[in-house]
Amino acid sequence: MLFLAARRDGVLSENPAEFVEAVRERGISNTRRAFSVDELRILLDHCDPEWRSLVLFGIYSGQRLSDLSSLTWNNVDLAKGELRLTTRKTGRRLTLPLAPPLQQHLENIVDDDPNAPIHPRAYSILQKQGRAASLSNRFAEILVQAGLRPLHKRTCKGRDATRQQSTLSFPSLRRTATTLLHEAGVPAAVAQALIGHDSEAIHELYVNVGKEALTKAAASLPVL
């Protein structure tokens, strides 16, 4: 990421790490998965208006909770159908087209004050705490209430206590958006640019092939 930023800013002419494969986090493929469409509907039914908006943004833009919580109406151009933001994690500037369902949602809640936050409660928490940890915890509670996530249980006591990891969390929406784009036949390079992944290797980590896609693939094999 450091070399990538240096090349983007014109400090380097080439990225010396361009062809170095990304290190896969241990267990990442086993601890996170995408939501199914049915699960998304159940989730939305258990959200209040602000969380419903955040979830819709997560599905239709694929962006992180901290970035979505910091959005104001200055970041949205409804006339052009665009969402503009700079990611907190990588500092990358993105201009994303608004998916029709997200555009319609925003038109229904639009505020005349361009400096007003789109998600006021989340924005306030992020400004006070500087990170989205408590927002992530609240989302986990919503998942529990929706029956999509079990209550955390500690595997042992004391300093070495660890929590059982859930396969669903807010980052799962980013994974869901990536997966849905691939299953819709969107070229990998286009999906990568839309979600904002910085490399093909990172992008691949977020792709989960759904059962329906696998079933269609199996059915497409020839009869011998």
Report the mean per-residue pLDDT for the chain. 81
124 near 24, Cβ under 8 Å?
no
The band of 215, judged by pLDDT with boundaries at 50, 70 and 90, is low
- Terminal Cα distance for the chain, rounded: 49
pLDDT number for residue 27: 43
What pTM value is reported for the model? 0.73
Quick check: 77 pLDDT over 60? Answer: yes
Q: What is the pLDDT of residue 201?
A: 52
Domains of the chain with CATH codes: 29-148+166-210 (1.10.443.10)
Q: What share of the chain has pLDDT > 70, as a percent?
A: 74
Contacts 24+ apart (CB under 8 A), 200-206: 201/21, 201/22, 202/22, 203/178, 205/22, 205/24, 205/28, 205/29, 206/174, 206/175, 206/178, 206/179
